[in-house]
Structure 1
Amino acid sequence: MAHAEISDVHLAEMAREPSRFRSLAASLERGLGTLVEIPLMFLVVAEIALLFAGVVSRYALHRPLIWSDELASILFIWLAMLGAVVAFRRNEHMRMTAIVASAGPRLWAYLEVFATSAALAFLLLILRPAYEYAYEESFIITPALELCGTWRAAALPVGIFLMAVFALLRLVRIGDFRLDAAGALSVVLLMGVFWLAQPWLQTLGNINLIVFFVGLAGFCVFSGVPIAFGFGLSVFGYLALTTRTPLVVLVGRMDEGMSHLILLSVPLFVFLGLLIEMSGMARAMVAFLATLLGHVRGGLHYVLVGAMYLVSGISGAKAADMAAVVPVLFPEMRQRGAKPGDLVALLAATGAQSETIPPSLVLITIGSVTGVSIAALFTAGLLPGMVLAVTLCALVWWRYRGEDLSHVKRASGGDIAKAFVVALPAITLPFVIRYAVVEGVATATEVSTVGIVYTLIVGYFVYGLLVYRSFDWRRLMPMLIEAASLSGAILLIIGAATGMAWGLTQSGFSRALAAAMTGLPGGSATFIAVSIAAFIVLGSVLEGIPAIVLFGPLLFPIARAVGVHEVHYAIIVVLAMGIGLFAPPFGVGYYAACAIGRIDPAEGIKPIWGYMLALLIGTVVVAAVPWLSIGFLK
């Protein structure tokens, strides 16, 4: 009996062992997560302070800080990588879950493990090249601060290592050894098949672009692997198995894509969007629009279209635009019976619609890589955005023409006037930002800090003390981390897409595309039509900025040669890329909309196609009528 009792005790201890491991893994995850979030929060604050100090020093004191951009660039890559780490820990990296959501519980659990294992595989594969890249950067000394380049480049191996640790901890927390083994074995077998097929793959030439960038990337995306890691695995496999390119080059391209200084505006504009929402400024702007349109059928959907158009003048980042309007509009729209899928579909469509509204990051990128005047692009982008807004509103009218509004009260003239007065300080913000850019007070990257300072002052003293009393200083810390996390997820995708774009360049695909488009029959009309189709695809696969960096210098000279105004062509390209960027299944912007709206991507797949058609019609109208783009240019 004594032996039996001892045996039972041992069995009980063994049964409790998995739960102990899960508990230990959860504790380690929380502790390590806090250690990452604290410096990440200070990095965002440091960037805001540094860039705003640069504006004040240059414009007010006439003593520019020659080292500010260099230090901002060093801090930015750390912000991007640590933000990606926090996003991984929170499971906030963008992913396609349409198939995963339809699976049964057991298959869903397996796909979750498979996705984590695939991400872990990419991180482990890229860790050594990232370390080698950081070591090679040690031979580079920065010109202004005279710092070793490793101080900056070390962010890549550190971030990759931390994400790998969180991936392992997540697998341990699952606590099902057989499930973990099945997911990991599936990834290993898939990698083994590609490795064994290497001799055959090397004979395929550019067909490998389809095998890896369409086949493997598509398989990863649809199986629920986060987009960034799916793209990363596809380009890693392409370079490792079909070329002799050192893999450290891939890390360099990812670094280049993630750390372009103009992208520093992404986390800052995201934070600005969160600040506008918290302070009550977004609430005031949307409330004013709601008094004008809230009583008509589909009224709040019109408000969403108008709010995105208005807020896009505040922020050059679509994630920030969506983050500003979603918390204000979505709860009321849900109460009126709007379906979550339709909400996120319209949100994504308005993100595409407002891509040309300044200050647009894509327009700034076009100007930087093609030499087209950014001021001209900013002027040209306003009216085309309005044309697309009209086509979206036409579809909203059709879909909601039978909406029951018997319970909705129409706002009086006094209510409208009161709402306008309350909203006026908030409505002024887009004009402050535009003035700062146009008059040269701040660059497109720095202007977000002007908006942040304005919002802190107006949000606290006007809306915090007088109107809503909603300004809560305690929320700033979580908002800083949230902005960095969302930005890290976005920037990691851009880094992976930049690596993919570089792979396309090395394959000769971009040159072949340019040559084919130069020889098209039908002149400028055919060239524009093919450009729209091509950039819809490129916007979906490569994301806007990498696509412009890759193809802009090739195609803009062709546009000039066939008689298309370069500003008009730029607007067409941005609109087409916006459609691709926000169209499932590959559009990154669509997943950003789902993440911000906290809606499963599968729910918006069906309703979004009507909005995409409306956007395409609007794009064709803009393409057919050049005056809409260049009519107001001097």
Structure 2
Amino acid sequence: MSVEIQMEKIPQAAAFKAGNPVARIGWRLETGIRWLTEVAAAGLVVAEVLLLFANVFYRYALHDPLVWGDELASLLFIWLAMLGSVIALRRGEHMRLTTFIARLAPPRRAFADTFGAVVVIAFILVLLQPAWEYTTEEWAITSAALEISNAFRVAAISVGLSLMLAISVARLMERASARHFCVSVLVVAGVAALLYVAKAAMTAFGNWNLVLFFVVGVVFMIVIGVPIMVAFGLSTVAYLTTVTSTPMLVVVGRMDEGMSGLILLAIPLFVFLGALIEAMGMANAMIRFLASLIGHLRGGLSYVLIGAIYLVSGISGSKAADMAAVAPALFPEMKKRGEDENELVAMLSASGAMSETIPPSLVLITIGSVTGVSISALFTGGFMPAVVGAMAMAAVVWFKNRRKDTHGVARAAPRDVGRAFLIALPALALPFVIRAAVVEGIATATEVASVGVAYTFVAGLVFYRCFDWKRLYPMLVSTASLSGAILIIIGCATAMAWALTQSGFSRQLAELMSAAPGGPAGFLVISAVAFVLLGSFLEGIPAIVLFGPLLFPVARTMGINEVHYAMVAVFAMGLGLFAPPFGVGFYAACAIAKVDPDGAMKRVWPYLGALFVALLILVAVPWVSVGFLPAA
């Protein structure tokens, strides 16, 4: 997640009145691409949900599996990922860090936005011709069940890159000044020329080049607000072009490999499921029940906030969406009871960190995809670490509210609690339906979200009856956008991880961390600290894709249970993600609640301190993560 600072928009009417033909052409180009991509992507989300649910129904109910189902799902999936990436680029929803550029004066911020757009264009231009060449080479490969050329699937990459290039150019035509554009092009071209001239000299530096490209280069691009996927991808391209003779066709192939894992199809489905839960009124029903049950206690609504985040977390794929579903339902009543808004945001932010391991977390799905760890085992292991985090936060809430006057706060009558429970029961059952579908073999981890979507539609329409059908299309488009932003990061990070592996860095890292003092315990502690730092700058998904393939084999060789290691890594990244001053999750919580970060920053530290203690417990007590796993 990121706190987005959008480029200053030029209103359509102003552009026409000013007689700016360049801006007018850019606006028309962007509008055409908008309708083309959004309608197609919305249709693909619906098609994937229906196809995967049909797979479950035919296999489990009719015992007649659709042999072509997975192939068709894979073909549609990469098109959904690339069109979603285009939509995310147009809407400014690609993951990026804007903490630093937000502090710039408007003219400098405008230049930073223009420079970032030129960097994006440079990255796309480098890969565009190899992407079309990759499509041509895949023409000879035929799928087993559908018996069609694989070129129809991988063409999504080249088409997507072409549309992203068109969007980037259209944005510059609409919004960038000629001076900013020319300076940006000269800087980017100058850096490229410098790398070309210094190619021979840099090759002699060996793996010290990794520091230049994958530390200095990546950090610089992230700091100036370049999308994380471009920071990963362009650093990889620059390294391979300058230091090796690897053709760019290989980079496109690695991106395809990273985005094509069928298990990742769970990402758009769970994103859509999360939006559906909120739109159907199910999230609000769960919150009302918790409030009636414990809202009368000292700090009762604070406990409700923690419990509500626990219940809705992990499904939407966006912590911002989780927090946005809970905050409007609870904050007004909490303010009526005298709660300070800074305290509320501090609790909201820390609750987001606490709940990172709760299934069906997209980070857990990503770990399973890139490391081979069982998704079912990760889902099972994710509940208790969050319980430990929730208990640590509850201890802070109790301590802060132990002398609070609750006079005038009425306790809900047992009848009202029972009524709220019955109303919330269909919503409360959803996590159990999802888990049972996986454990009982009804659906795979990829397909289970389609079961959840079907259940939510039926339960929402039958029991809650508050769904506005006008919200469906925007939900589908938003699902495609968020999914595309996540998946293209995975693709670029996969290419980057491949480059690091080929350089020998993974072997050196394994040797270094294996020699850490303290054996497995020391390795766990070092990993926890490293993932806290990573979480401060990166979302969990790109960090896991980049470092998971490097570190999980080391943990395995040291005898550390992979589920235990995964929980430590995810919990630590969540802590970093919501820890100021760098954690972008913290600023997202402030934005949702419309609160100044400076005030909330002073209140969040006790909660983060409690979560750090919970992290130490996870490191020291493997049972918390693996105690409920079935015996091998």
TM tier, smaller: 0.7 to 0.9
* TM-score after normalising by structure 2: 0.87
Contact 1:97 1:602 in 2 (8 A): no
1:510 to 2:511 alignment: no
1:415–1:447 distance in 2 versus 1, CA, 3 Å: same
Deviation at 1:591, TM superposition (A): 8.4
Equivalent residue for 2:568?
572
Structure 2 CA distance, aligned partners of 1:456 and 1:427? 14
Structure 2 CA distance, aligned partners of 1:18 and 1:603? 46
Structure 1 CA distance, aligned partners of 2:600 and 2:204? 41
Deviation at 1:424, TM superposition (A): 0.8
Deviation at 1:99, TM superposition (A): 1.8
Secondary structure at 1:452's aligned position in 2? helix
Equivalent residue for 2:163?
162
Equivalent residue for 2:438?
437
Structure 1 CA distance, aligned partners of 2:604 and 2:497? 27
Equivalent residue for 2:558?
559
Structure 1 CA distance, aligned partners of 2:429 and 2:195? 56
Equivalent residue for 2:10?
none
Structure 1 window deviating more from structure 2 (596-605 vs 609-618): it is 596-605
Q: Could you give the per-residue CA deviations for residues 127-176 of structure 1, whole angstroms, max 9, x where no partner exists?
A: 11222222222222111111111101111111111111111111111163
Contact 2:76 2:153 in 1 (8 A): yes
Match of 1:627 among 607, 623, 629: 623
Deviation at 1:631, TM superposition (A): 3.3
User: Within 5 A, what are the aligned runs for 1:223-302?
Assistant: 223-295=224-296, 299-302=300-303
Structure 1 window deviating more from structure 2 (224-233 vs 518-527): it is 518-527
* TM-score after normalising by structure 1: 0.86
1:399–1:440 distance in 2 versus 1, CA, 3 Å: same
Which letter does structure 2 place at the counterpart of 1:380?
A: G
User: Within 5 A, what are the aligned runs for 1:34-45?
Assistant: 34-45=35-46
1:32–1:341 distance in 2 versus 1, CA, 3 Å: farther
Structure 1 window deviating more from structure 2 (373-382 vs 134-143): it is 373-382
Contact 1:581 1:589 in 2 (8 A): yes
Which letter does structure 2 place at the counterpart of 1:22?
A: A
1:327 to 2:328 alignment: no
Structure 1 window deviating more from structure 2 (355-364 vs 584-593): it is 584-593
Q: Could you give the per-residue CA deviations for residues 317-368 of structure 1, whole angstroms, max 9, x where no partner exists?
A: 632x652551342465278568888777655544443333333444455556
Structure 2 CA distance, aligned partners of 1:526 and 1:188? 45
Match of 1:528 among 524, 531, 547: 524
Contact 1:362 1:544 in 2 (8 A): no
Structure 2 CA distance, aligned partners of 1:239 and 1:400? 57
Which letter does structure 1 place at the counterpart of 2:181?
A: D
Deviation at 1:395, TM superposition (A): 4.4
Secondary structure at 1:318's aligned position in 2? coil
Equivalent residue for 1:425?
426
Q: Could you give the per-residue CA deviations for residues 543-600 of structure 1, whole angstroms, max 9, x where no partner exists?
A: 354146513552243232xxx4444334333333444566678878778878988999
Equivalences, count: 610
Of all paired residues, the percent bearing the same amino acid is: 51
Structure 1 CA distance, aligned partners of 2:590 and 2:490? 18
Secondary structure at 2:20's aligned position in 1? helix
Contact 1:48 1:268 in 2 (8 A): yes
Flag structure 2 segments of 5+ consecutive residues without an equivalent. 1-14
Structure 1 window deviating more from structure 2 (49-58 vs 473-482): it is 473-482
Structure 1 window deviating more from structure 2 (496-505 vs 420-429): it is 496-505
Deviation at 1:84, TM superposition (A): 0.7
Which letter does structure 1 place at the counterpart of 2:447?
A: E
Structure 2 CA distance, aligned partners of 1:140 and 1:518? 42
Deviation at 1:375, TM superposition (A): 4.3
Structure 1 CA distance, aligned partners of 2:600 and 2:189? 33
Which letter does structure 1 place at the counterpart of 2:290?
A: L
Structure 1 CA distance, aligned partners of 2:81 and 2:155? 12
Contact 1:254 1:498 in 2 (8 A): yes
Structure 1 CA distance, aligned partners of 2:150 and 2:597? 40
Flag structure 1 segments of 5+ consecutive residues without an equivalent. 1-13, 465-469
1:39–1:416 distance in 2 versus 1, CA, 3 Å: same
Structure 1 window deviating more from structure 2 (257-266 vs 24-33): it is 24-33
Contact 2:371 2:549 in 1 (8 A): no
Equivalent residue for 1:151?
152
Equivalent residue for 1:93?
94
Structure 2 CA distance, aligned partners of 1:49 and 1:453? 9
Contact 1:365 1:549 in 2 (8 A): no
Q: CA RMSD in A?
A: 3.4
Structure 1 CA distance, aligned partners of 2:227 and 2:573? 21
Structure 2 CA distance, aligned partners of 1:350 and 1:580? 13
Which letter does structure 2 place at the counterpart of 1:558?
A: T
Contact 1:532 1:576 in 2 (8 A): yes
Which letter does structure 2 place at the counterpart of 1:282?
A: A
1:325–1:365 distance in 2 versus 1, CA, 3 Å: closer
Structure 1 CA distance, aligned partners of 2:281 and 2:567? 33
1:217–1:568 distance in 2 versus 1, CA, 3 Å: closer
Deviation at 1:533, TM superposition (A): 2.9
User: Within 5 A, what are the aligned runs for 1:166-177?
Assistant: 166-174=167-175, 176-177=177-178
Structure 1 window deviating more from structure 2 (262-271 vs 600-609): it is 600-609
1:617 to 2:610 alignment: no
1:224–1:363 distance in 2 versus 1, CA, 3 Å: closer
Match of 2:480 among 484, 488, 497: 484
